[in-house]
Every structure is written in C-alpha cells, then in structure tokens.
Structure 1
C-alpha cells in the first residue's frame, strides 16, 4: 500500500504535525505500507531525519495561506501512484488542492486536523476566527465533508471539534496518537544535559518542552514558579522551545520583576539526544496550556517515566488522570500554582509511584505503533468497501 502525505512543511520548528507525521509513518514498513510526503519546503531545506520517507519538495507557498500555483497540477500528475492521500493540518491551501486534484479520481483522501478545529481558537483569536469562518464556508467545510474520514487523535479532540462551526459534516474516526521511543531515547541519560548545563545538577527541575507561545500558558508558568520559589529555592525551571513570536523577552521581564530569573534557564529548541537527556534529568514535566490537541512532548515525557503536570485543556488529560501518571488542574494562574504546590507536597514514595505509572500510561495509551496500525486498518477497510 502506498500513501501520500501532504503537509505545508516538514520542518520540526513548525510544531507537532511535522513530528507526528514522522512518528506515524516510521511504522508503515512493518504494516506493509510505504509513505511519500509532498511538502512545500525547498529542496535544500534542513528537514532533519526523513530516512524512512520519500520526500517531494515543490518550494514555498505564498503567504500564510501557502498558496502554490503548481500544487494541484503536481498532485494530479502523481495521484494514480497512491492508494490514499492524507492531508495534515487545516486553514491553508494544501487541503483545497488535494480535494480539487482528486475530485474525479478513485483515490480517497483523509484529513488529520491536528487540533486545528478546537473551539479555543474561536474565543482566543476572534478576528482570526472571523477570517477562518469565511474560508470555512468557501472551501474548508467542503474539504472535510468530502474526505473519506477526518482523523482525530482522541475522543476529546473529536468532541471539541463539533463546537467550532455551525455547519459541520464529517466522517469522524479516532485513530489515537503518540510518539516513538527511538534507540537514542531508550539509551538517554541525564549526563548530556548536565554536561551542557552543569549548574542545574542536583536541582529539582521542572521542564517546559514546547513552543514559547501564548496558548502554552508560559506566562502562567513563570508567575506560578516565581511564587513557588518563596517556599523552595532549590527548584529550577527549564524553558525549552523555539520562540517564533518574540514573546520570550516579555516573559524574561516578568521573571526578573518577580526575582525568579536566576532560577530559570532558557535553552531554545532541544533536539535529538539533548532533548531526551533533558527529559531524563527533569524531576517533572509541566505544560499549563490553554489548548493542546494532543501534546507530543507530554507523551515523550511519559515514555521516559517523567511524571507530567498539565492543564485540563491538554486533550489527553483524562488518560493521564485515569492512570495517575501526573497531576491535572485548570489553565489558570491558581491552577498552575496548584500543579506545582501539589507536586512539591508529595512524598518521595508517592512521586516514585507516579513515575512508574507514567511509563505504563505511555505503553498502554500513547505508543505510536497503535495509531499507525489504526490508520492503515482504516484505509484498507475503506478500500475494500469501495
């Protein structure tokens, strides 16, 4: 079985979809499938590890919409080579292009929204939502309506998507999601992280591993952490992630005003061994996000047995709470303060139990192998019934 994945960019700095695509397709070979990716990256862009993928690059699209005049023609020219096409992400030209290119073919297409139908965006960015509403009625609604299925990562994402737009007709399928535990991850130790940041050894590390972005609740975390320092000065916050919006300077100013800046380390984006080493070194992972479709970094922390402190706006919070793999609170300042204070109040024995539960939670809920199998099974089932 040959599957074409269409995404605007495979650059990992663009967020979760690029990593999710890599993770899912890494298990295709064992399932008798082969993945090709069509992306609007340049041929000479550094896309990281893509060894298991055949990558077709057609160059950058125009503007935030990523319009590319050659995309539909390219899709039409190669569509017959594939059994199915999967579109990653919404609100850009590539979904419209796939629908147009496959309209008069027998090749089905699927859409992976990656959380982009969450009603959070309607309230947080009303002007953007207004623009999206126009695009929804002009094109996006039809893209989802005509898809063979819309693939959701969990029941919570599927449920929330229904509240985004009044006109909503899709065939929803929950395929689950997760991440890989690579050999590098399995063999990781905290040594590489401490070698780069020796001053953090013997500190109680709270690790934030995500984009520096308003929806991630970074400001709540800085303030809550600063307040927690009044009771324990041996705790340290590591803020690891790219800052595409330039928000870091404001967050640093908040930390300085609260006398917390010397207890916070900003690492930028961590990759490969250093990322896994940071997760190993951390006592606990923390993400007080206002919206999180899945949270690949949450699953990565669980995989290495690092307990997670998350908000109830991270869509997999129910699974975390059910398996006692971490703590869950509201995405408010009070909720974030509770996450930290509740964690610090636990005994070493209680923390050890949560650590063990974290690994079990990953194995049972978030191993990407199952998601890959679910996707291939869904496509095969659809092809048999067509």
Structure 2
C-alpha cells in the first residue's frame, strides 16, 4: 500500500513526548513491512524549529519525510505549503492517516482530503476527550467543533488507541466508524537489573503539566504513614513547576521529592528500572506509552482510572488503578509498598506480558488489515 501520515511534529522533535515516538515507530514498521510510507509534517520543535531543509524529501529511518516550514507555532502550526502539496497528492495514496486534532494544520488537512475524496483516518490522540473540551480554550473548541469539526470528523474514520478513547469519541459523534489499535512503541533490548531501595521509590516520568495530576499525588503523599521518595523526570512550564514546588513545601513533602528534569531515551528506561513503582495520576490520558515502557523494564505501575491503559493494568494485574482522589491514591501506594510479592512478580513477568500484547509485528499486521478494510469500503 501507499500510505501518507500527516502529523504536526515528527522525530527528532522528541520534545512532544510519546506521540512523536509512537507515530514514527508506526511509520517505520509499515515501511519495514514493505509498504511505501510518506510523512508530511512541519519543522515544529517546541518554541524552535528543527534543523532540517524545509520542503525537501528526507529518508528518516526508511520513511520518506517532508518537513514543511510553519508560519505559526504551537498549537496552530499554520503551514500553507503542506496544504498545497496535499491538495496535489492526496489522491495518490491508498490511505491517509492523520494524528492529533484542535490543530489548524490537521483541521484544514482533513478538509482537503475530504474535498479530494481521499480515504482518511483521524487519530485524535486524546484531543476529543471531555477533559480537553473542558480545559484551555474550551469555548473556542466547542464553537469550532460545532461549525466544522464534527462534520469533518464524521467524514473520516476514527483510530482510537484504547477502548476508553473509542467510547468517548463515539459519544461525541454517535456511529463514528473506526477501529481500536494501540500505539507501537520501540522498546530497548536491555537486561532488567533490579535495585534495592532503602526508601520505597516512585518514579513519575512524563511532561510536567496540570493534566498529569501531580497535585493529587502530592496530597496523597502527605497522607502516608511512611516515607517514600518521588523522583520526577520531565520538563514543563517553569512557572507551573515553581507552583508545584511551593505546594509540596506547603504539604511538607518537598524533602521526599527529587526533581530530575528531562531525561533522554536511555536515561528514562534506567530511571524506571531503578524505581519500585511507576506512577501516573493523570486527569486524562488516551493511552500512555510510558506505562508500556515501565512494564517492559519490570516496574509495576500505578495509574488513575482516567488513563487509557487502566483496564489493561487491571486485566493483566500489572499494578494498581486508583480513583482520581488523594485518599484512594494514598491507599494504593500503601498497598504497593506492602505487596513485595506482587512487585517481584511484575518485575519477573512484566516484559513477557508486554511482548504478548504489544508485539510490533502483530500490530503492524493489524494496522494493515484495518487500512485494507477501509480502502475496500464504499465511499
């Protein structure tokens, strides 16, 4: 098949976290399976631009990528040159797969594909959740959705990365046709070397953002009857991080927290492996790649019910699932600290569970199967 992926940012723009890596891994897997894979993206790299030649096709690990120069930064990424190229080439592809939403780049790209009659899939990647509609520019999102968003999305196919996201999206657009397939994640072939910690150690490894629920975690820590160490690996808005540090001091848990800052790929797997428990107390996550990464190195996870992989964690007994409530979160941390047998079992079997459920070879075959079904369907 000839497949085009459209995404606001592509590797090496790792500043955007999990989506950058998972989209690239999907594209690389499809290319390795013998398909012709192109990517249209922008030069976005946070507040800066990637050091690439705009408008020129570049082979990035087997994938043909064109980085188009954007005129505006996040979150709009207005990129007319990409739209012009897409209008000329949309019908050349068997399938067009777009990633993200509430982004001018993707909104207009989806409309162009509809006008050209191209088979199109939208992977909103959590951007159509109730949390997103209720946060930030919520009024503007609602107006945009009612004016053009709903009708544009309904003409495309839905790709959800978890059952929770699929259900939420179909509540928004009843009858929306689509499929559920998880992210494909590149996992390192490294030995699992357990570490004995004197103090029960938690690792939070993600973007430091209000939706990640660190406030709830700090309050939960203040309710514990024993000492723990929370290591926070990630970056975010400096003003917000200072607010979190002040909150931790007010709750008298600041001496139990280490702020590690950003960690590269090798460092993050090492940090997860050294911890007793990975924790993600998010208010909303459509998937959460980092849960898979933690279990790959044998570290049990604690997530809130709002994390897309919460049902997987429950079903496979790979950790604990908490309500978005400080008291319940504190209770689950206590359970984990006391259940050394379960922690050791996850340390021993976590990687096998991930390999059985998230094998890249199997998932690539499933993606191709879904593409073929859509391509064969009547427009």
Secondary structure of 2:363 counterpart: helix
Q: Does residue 45 of structure 1 match 2:45? A: no
Secondary structure of 2:97 counterpart: strand
Q: 1:320 aligns with which of 306, 313, 316?
A: 313
Name the counterpart of 2:219.
223
Q: 2:253 aligns with which of 238, 253, 260?
A: 260
CA distance in 1, matches of 2:259, 2:80: 40
Q: Aligned-pair RMSD on alpha carbons?
A: 2.6
Secondary structure of 1:60 counterpart: coil
Q: Which runs of 5+ in 1 are unaligned?
A: 192-199
Number of aligned residue pairs: 366
Secondary structure of 2:3 counterpart: strand
Name the counterpart of 1:194.
none
Name the counterpart of 2:22.
20
CA distance in 1, matches of 2:285, 2:107: 25
Name the counterpart of 1:146.
155
User: Do the aligned partners of residues 265 and 4 (structure 1) sit closer, same or farther apart at CA in structure 2, a change above 3 Å counting?
Assistant: same
5 Å-filtered alignment, 1:13-92, equals 13-41=15-43, 45=50, 50-62=60-72, 64-92=75-103
CA distance in 2, matches of 1:258, 1:99: 47
Name the counterpart of 1:130.
139
Secondary structure of 1:208 counterpart: strand
CA distance in 2, matches of 1:50, 1:341: 45
Q: Does residue 176 of structure 1 match 2:175? A: no
CA distance in 2, matches of 1:66, 1:208: 29
Name the counterpart of 1:359.
351
TM-score computed with the length of structure 1 as normaliser = 0.86
Q: Offset of 1:58 from its aligned partner?
A: 1.1
CA distance in 2, matches of 1:103, 1:144: 10
Q: Offset of 1:104 from its aligned partner?
A: 4.7
CA distance in 2, matches of 1:203, 1:369: 39
CA distance in 2, matches of 1:284, 1:297: 12
User: Do the aligned partners of residues 357 and 262 (structure 1) sit closer, same or farther apart at CA in structure 2, a change above 3 Å counting?
Assistant: same
Secondary structure of 1:27 counterpart: helix
- Conserved in 1, the CA contact under 8 Å of 2:70 and 2:79? yes
Q: Offset of 1:214 from its aligned partner?
A: 1.1
CA distance in 2, matches of 1:361, 1:298: 12
CA distance in 2, matches of 1:204, 1:178: 31
User: Do the aligned partners of residues 385 and 257 (structure 1) sit closer, same or farther apart at CA in structure 2, a change above 3 Å counting?
Assistant: closer
CA distance in 2, matches of 1:355, 1:77: 51
TM-score computed with the length of structure 2 as normaliser = 0.87
Q: 1:373 aligns with which of 351, 365, 378?
A: 365
Q: Does residue 161 of structure 1 match 2:153? A: no
Q: Which runs of 5+ in 2 are unaligned?
A: 53-58
Q: Offset of 1:289 from its aligned partner?
A: 0.9
Q: Offset of 1:34 from its aligned partner?
A: 3.2
- Conserved in 1, the CA contact under 8 Å of 2:6 and 2:99? yes
- Conserved in 1, the CA contact under 8 Å of 2:278 and 2:299? yes
